[in-house]
Structures are given as structure tokens and as C-alpha cells.
Structure 1
Amino acid sequence: MVDSLRDQLLKSGIVKQLKDEKRQQQPPVRQTPPPGKGKPQHHKPKPARTQEEIDLAKAYAIRAQTEANERKRAEQESAEQARLKRERKAKVQQLLEGNALNKADADQVRHFEYGGKIRRLYVDAAQLAELNAGKLGVIQNAGRYVLVAQSTAEQIRAIDPHLVALLVDPSASGGVGEDGVPDDLMW
């Protein structure tokens, strides 16, 4: 039977000699224990940081702290603004309770400009005359227009002037036409 070349080389001992020679040429491999067992492994120490790297790290830390302080301050200001807005809204709501003069059976329309658009409010004849004379005012509250006495409108103006939709100044030079519509709203 014919042996393979490998088998023949193993029998002759030549292959064993080559392996021994290779082992002698290579440095012996040290077996190190797994980390945490035996001697601690020595790592190369980190190179010392330069002054430039230290300054840069300090600058980043200062910037991060400053940004965090600014965010915190902005959140506090936002919370304070929201609290003030809630307080103003509650005061206005309290003033409007029982002081609304809107009538469900009102048949006349009073147009007025508010927020860059022409708005309308239904009033009766007596209310229209008082509204045009400045004795009544219109307040915008929760998407509705509420007819109130002039004193209530002035109190609400002191709290939040943006809510006063219409308050005619009786000392204004503009007059009221025969149909009860102020001259400045004739179109």
C-alpha cells in the first residue's frame, strides 16, 4: 500500500525536526492570567495632558455650565410668565362673571375692527347707542365678544389691554351717524 507523502514524512522524522526548529526560532509565548486574576496587568500610563488640552477642557466645562444655567433661567421665566397669564385670566373671568350684558334676542349688528379683522356683535338699540357713546365696551374672552359696562372694560384694560376689543372714547372727534354707526366705520 502506498502511504501518503505526509505519512512518509512523519515516519521518517523529518517533519518532527522542522517543527522543533520552528519552536526554537520563535520566542516562548507567555500565558497571562485572565484580567482580575493573578498579578495586575500593567498598562502604559496615559501621557500627561498639555496645558492647551486642560484649558480646552475647562472651556467646555464652563460652556456646558453656562448653557445649563441659561436653560434653567429660561424655564423659570417661562413658568413665571405662564403663572402671571393664569392669574390675569382668572381676574378677567372674575370681573366678567355677572357683568356680561349680551342679550340673546339682540337684533342689531355693531361692527368693529379687532385683530386686523372686522368683527361683529349683536346688540339692541339702547346698547348700540350706549356702546357708540362710550358707556359700554366689548371684551374678547375665550373666543367670544362680551358686552360690558365702561368701568368693567377699564378694569380689564388695566389687567390686560389686549382683551379690550372695543371701547369708544367719548371725547374723540369722530361722530356717530344717523344710523348709530360711528363715522370711522362707514364703508
Structure 2
Amino acid sequence: MVDSLRDQLLKSGIVKQLKDEKRQQQPAQRPSPSHGKGKPQHKPNRPARSQEEMDLAKAYAMRAQTEATERKRAEQEAAEQARIKRERKAKVQQLLQGNMLNKADADQARHFEYGGKIRRMYVDAAQLADLNAGKLGIVQNGGRYVLVTLAVAEQIRQIDPHLLALLIDPSTGGIGDDGVPDDLMW
């Protein structure tokens, strides 16, 4: 039987020797993907990093650390702001407990400006007179408007001034020079 030249070379071991020598001459060439999938490949004689590469690596590490520190600080600040907001809301709820003067049968609309829009709240005649005289105030709480006494309105102003929707200054009586209430933007 006649063996091919290839078979004869493989049997003699010459081809294996040539392949090994070729691999040693080209160490920078990557092995084909079919060899050792999932296993780390050993790279012989890897050159040492230059000073420039080390400086760049240090810069990236410092930047990553700085960003992580800033992110952590921002998260802590946001958590602190949320805690303060919850405490304010709890204080306002406690103040409003039992001090709401809203009446279900109120029939007179009192318009006022709050948040850049004209709002409306229904009060009775006595409440309307007291509201315009500055004896009562309106507080925004949970999307609703609550009628409260002057003392409660002042306490809420100290806790969170943004919640005070309407409180007329008693010294002016709430009526401007033109005869229109000061808080209306008609």
C-alpha cells in the first residue's frame, strides 16, 4: 500500500516538529478559537508595561474612585433631603390634625392664586370674612386645600412656607388700592 507523502511525514514526526517550531517563532499570534475554549491562555514573554500605561491606569482608577465617591455622596444627600421632607410632612399632618376648618356645606367660592394658577376653595360667609381679614389661612396638603386658623398657618409657614397657599396680611386687610383683594391676579 502506498502512503501519501503527508501520511509518511506525520508518521516520521517531522511535521510535528515543524509545527512546534512555527509556534515558537510566532508567539504574538493568537491561538485559534477552537483551542481551549473557556480556559485562560498563557502568553509567554509579555513585555512589561511602560510608565505611560501605568500612569493611565492609575488615572482611570482614581477617576473611578472619585466617581464612586461622588455617587455615594449624592445618594446620601438625596436620602437626607427625603428624610427632612418626611419629617416636615409629619409635622404638618400633626398640626392639621383637628385644626381643619373646612365645611362640607360651604357655598361661597374664594379664589386665590397658588402655584401660578387661580385656585378655588369653598367657604361659608363667616369664613370668607375672616379669610379676607387675615384671621384664617389656606394651606395646601396632599393635593387638597385646608382652611386653618392664623396661628396654625403661621406654624406651617415656619415648617414649610411653600405649603401656605393663602394668608392675607391683616394690616392691609387684603384689599389693594384698586379695591381688589391683593392675592387675586385678575
TM-score w.r.t. structure 2 length?
A: 0.77
Structure showing greater radius of gyration is 1
Aligned partners of 2:133 and 2:173 also within 8 Å: no
Superposed, 1:38-187 pairs within 5 Å as: 43-172=43-172, 175=175, 182=181, 185=184, 187=186
Gaps of 5+ in 2: 21-35, 37-41
CA contact (8 A) 1:132 1:176 kept: no
CA displacement at 1:28 relative to structure 2: 5.2
Q: Is the 8 A contact 1:138 1:148 kept in 2?
A: yes
State how far apart, in whole Å, the 2-side matches of 1:59 and 1:162 are. 45
Q: 1:43 to 1:130 in 2, by over 3 A?
A: closer
1:117-162 Cα distance to aligned partner (Å, 9 max, x none): 1111111111101100111000000011000001100100101011
Instruction: After superposing the two structures, state which structure 1 stretch, 17-26 or 149-158, moved more.
Output: 17-26
Alignment check: 8 A CA contact 1:132 1:181 kept: no
Secondary structure of the 1:47 match is coil
Conserved? CA contact 1:138–1:146, under 8 Å? yes
Return closer, same or farther for 1:20/1:157 CA change in 2, 3 Å cut-off. Answer: closer
Contact 2:9 2:15 in 1 (8 A): no
Percentage of identical aligned residues: 71
Mapped partners of 1:157, 1:149: distance in 2: 12
* Residue segments in structure 1 that go unaligned for 5+ positions in a row: 1-9, 36-41
Match of 1:27 among 7, 10, 14: 14
Q: Aligned-pair distance for 1:175?
A: 2.1
What's the offset of the Cα at 1:172? 3.2
Corresponding position of 2:30: none
Rate the CA distance shift 1:18–1:186 in 2: closer, same or farther, 3 A. Answer: closer
